Amino acid sequence: MSEPIYRQQRFLLMTLDPVHVGTGGYRLGRVDLSIVREPGTRLPKIPGTSLSGAIRQFAAMRYESRRCAGMGEGEKSHCRDGKCPVCYTFGYIRGSEGGQSGTVSIGDARLLLFPVYSMAGPVWVTSPSALRDFAIEVKVGDDAVKVASGLANHPHLNLGWLMLKKEEGGFDLPDAVPAEIKARAVLASDKVFSQVVNSNLEVRTSVSINPETGAASDKALFTYEALPRAALLWLDVIQDDFQPGGRVFPITDKKCKVEKTTDETGADKKRYTHNAGEPLGETWSMPLNVVRAGLRLAEHLGIGGMGTRGFGRVRLTGDWEVR
Ligand SMILES: [Zn+2]
């Protein structure tokens, strides 16, 4: 049976560390490194372009064909082999000869549930528009909340400076949300959700070190914001594997075998043999399998900036096809 050409897969992620994916603007000396936000709602997001680069890198590490990570320029060119699942999935560059586009597009990771402390302990806040993409239609008053069963005993909900009254009725959450989070979920209006999120982001202060002297530089303190631990985000990945030339995804259950060899001039060279290395531990039968394998490594390797400071690990908690 052949795998589908077109497929939309939704991935649910949970942050295990604070995650900082910055806007690229550095303003040392003030509130400095802000994270990327959605233009309309001002809610933080992780851009698909950042995710795509990380997922490609991790998939190439998993497959042990490290040259196929990265941008593929110059010395570190991609292997460009039609039998390489990484190059097939993400595409490759071939200098002036053009290249080959990939077969997946990776969307932005958007907030679904945001953790915040309340008088009732930790709760996870969501909103009607955050749930709409899951085909869950709910309403809630502007200054009220609906709460999950685990919070039913608390008459009010105090989210820091916000005291919100409870409304009758429950609300659904996507199946893949962990049960302990579902039990402590709170539905607030879109406006309150945005306020809660933006006033509860992690803000940290760090010292900037001069790399030449190893000493703290002048105006050395800088602050940066980050998504906190235990936030839930989701993203869609579209696989569109229609290939006019009849390319076929190179199904593999083994990693790439990389051997050291020499070329005609005696210079060191590496030989890449696909589907010939150590067992992968799973079978990659379509590009989405490569994406999933890469995304799983984000739990150990982390995404975004501040990677050296215990930042950026995200756990894939589930994925399913969107029909
Ligand atoms: Zn490759």
298 Cα: distance to centroid of ligand 1 (angstroms):
20
28 Cα: distance to centroid of ligand 1 (angstroms):
39
- Asked if 108 and 46 count as a contact pair (C-beta separation under 8 A), the reply is yes
pLDDT tens-digit map of 246-264: 788 999 999 999 999 888 8
Which secondary structure element, helix H or strand E, spans residue 288, and what is its range? helix 287-301
86 Cα: distance to centroid of ligand 1 (angstroms):
5
More confident residue, 75 or 124: 124
**Edge-to-edge strands, sheet with 31-33:** 31-33, 216-226, 202-209
- Residue ranges of the domains in the chain? 6-20+48-107+227-321, 114-198
The pLDDT of 207-219, averaged and rounded, is 65
- Asked if 35 and 50 count as a contact pair (C-beta separation under 8 A), the reply is no
pLDDT band at 28 (very low <50, low <70, confident <90, very high): very low
Percentage helix, strand, coil for the chain under 3-state DSSP, each rounded to 5? 20, 40, 40
- Two tokens at 269? 């060279």
> How far apart are the C-alpha atoms of 182 and 164, rounded to whole Å?
19
> How far apart are the C-alpha atoms of 205 and 311, rounded to whole Å?
14
315 Cα: distance to centroid of ligand 1 (angstroms):
26
11 Cα: distance to centroid of ligand 1 (angstroms):
24
pLDDT for residue 75: 61
DSSP secondary structure letter of residue 19? B
pLDDT tens-digit map of 42-98: 899 999 998 999 999 999 999 999 989 977 666 668 888 889 999 999 998 766 667
SS3 (DSSP) at 39: coil
